Amino acid sequence: MTAHRVLPPPGVIKRNTLLLAASQVFVGVGNQMVPTLGAIIVARLLGSAHLAGMATSTLGASRFLVSYPIGRIADMHGRRVAVAFGLVLGLAGALITGLSVLFGSFVLFLVGILVFGAGVSAGYQLRVAAADMYPPSQRAQGLGYVLSGSLVGALGGPVLITAAHAWSDNLGLDPLALTWILVPAVIVPGIGLVLAVRPDPKEIAANLERYYPGYRPPRTQATDSTAATGVLTFFHDRRLQAAFAASFAAQGNMAMIMAFTSLALEHHGHALPAISVAVTIHVIGMFGFSLPLGWLTDRVGRHAVLLLGFLFLAGGAGLVPLTSRYWIIVAGTFLVGLGWSAATVAATAIIADATHTFERGRAIGANDTASAAAAIAVPLLAGPAVELFGLSALGLLGVGLMVPAFVLLMARSKEPPAPDYDSPGA
């Protein structure tokens, strides 16, 4: 095994990385809408907060249904096609959701969130695209570059919501509806940026030695995108078990906090722009530190960063219900976002390390399907728990979620290093 050394990425890799990161800027604005507005819209449409977690759970249901098929599309037709297709779905879903508020239709709202969620699911294939273009020792840092694009997108959420508030009176539209109707304006540029990525990251991954002189590809490098790799194959791999469990816990924790923080802040009298700022700070935690976390993941190891993520997730979930003070609640949501970022970067790197190019999209899809199950179940469980026991239930559930993932990670064998020369089968 060759000693660790840094192989500088060539110009085409830098260009594609910049395009993917820029596309995340536009995707990130739209992705804020569900955590910021979902619980408030559900409470308004149903007249009760009992199902406030329904929006986030519906988003999770959509991811559960389409993540693996989208991964298959990415493996068969390329990452660009899968992501661009998803952005088109996101555009349609945003418009449907806006119309549901105007018409006061909860059923139409669920349809809109389902379609929008399909687009969000496809957007997660950007992680595969980022991992495809870098050798193992730089893989997590490459992920960090792309995911950091959403940091700028986070700043656009409050701008979009504030603009909707300012224009709603003149247009005679509900500001909640107008916000969703404006979302396509920021999705369309993202589609153009994704389509400008050439060659497709999947093609780069299959020929890394062309872009990194001296890189030695796996001995059994397969290029057939239709090669049979069943879902159960992924779940039988010990490395993937740890990655999937970490993603499950991180996504469930974050979905719960995202679903209920906006409702709690509104209950304490904070206006919608202030709630949007809180969600923006949470999203900064999610993406603003992706690059240093990626660098750390490549240097100290995937498992160490996963454990750091667990600590942030549990601590943040414990802070949110402690008080009604705005900035303490915001600090908790920030830590949850930071923990999610650490877990996502490290888990995605593990998945990329453990899979071949032709199956990587489906592996990420299988991981997202598992984590989507958490996004469905945890907010729905948290709703009745909050009604019965108050917001303190959020802290208990958030901490409890991390325990099984921590135990499973610690039970796994010691992880191998991530050198510039390796094989998924190693």
Residue at 227 is within a domain: no
> pLDDT value at position 3?
42
Tokens 């779940």 sit at which residue? 235
Residue at 6 is within a domain: no
> pLDDT value at position 30?
64
The answer to whether 156 and 77 are in contact (CB under 8 A) is no
Residue at 225 is within a domain: no
- Residues in CB range of 400: below 8 A, 6 or more apart: none
**Token pair belonging to 132:** 């495809």
Host domain of residue 106: 15-204+232-411
Q: Is the dihedral of CA 65, 378, 147, 235 positive or negative?
A: negative
Residue at 222 is within a domain: no
Helical ranges in 237-301 per DSSP H: 238-267, 272-287, 290-300
- Residues in CB range of 332: below 8 A, 6 or more apart: 257, 315, 316, 317, 318, 319, 320, 322
> pLDDT value at position 422?
41
What backbone phi and psi angles, to 5 degrees, belong to 124? Answer: -65, -15
Residue at 220 is within a domain: no
Residue at 238 is within a domain: yes
Residue at 236 is within a domain: yes
The enclosing domain of 329 has a CATH number of 1.20.1250.20
Residue at 224 is within a domain: no
pLDDT in single tens digits along all 426 residues of the chain: 344 455 688 999 999 999 998 887 766 666 667 777 888 888 888 887 677 778 877 887 888 899 999 999 999 999 999 999 999 999 999 999 999 999 999 999 999 999 998 888 888 888 899 999 999 889 999 999 988 877 777 667 778 888 888 898 888 899 889 999 998 888 898 899 999 999 999 999 989 889 998 787 765 544 444 455 667 788 888 889 999 999 999 999 988 887 777 777 776 677 777 777 887 788 789 888 999 999 999 999 999 999 999 999 999 998 887 777 888 889 999 999 999 999 999 999 999 999 988 899 999 999 999 998 887 888 878 878 877 777 777 888 888 889 888 888 887 655 555 544 444 443
How many domains, the chain? 1
The answer to whether 71 and 358 are in contact (CB under 8 A) is no
Closest to 20 (Cα-Cα) out of 150, 154, 205: 150
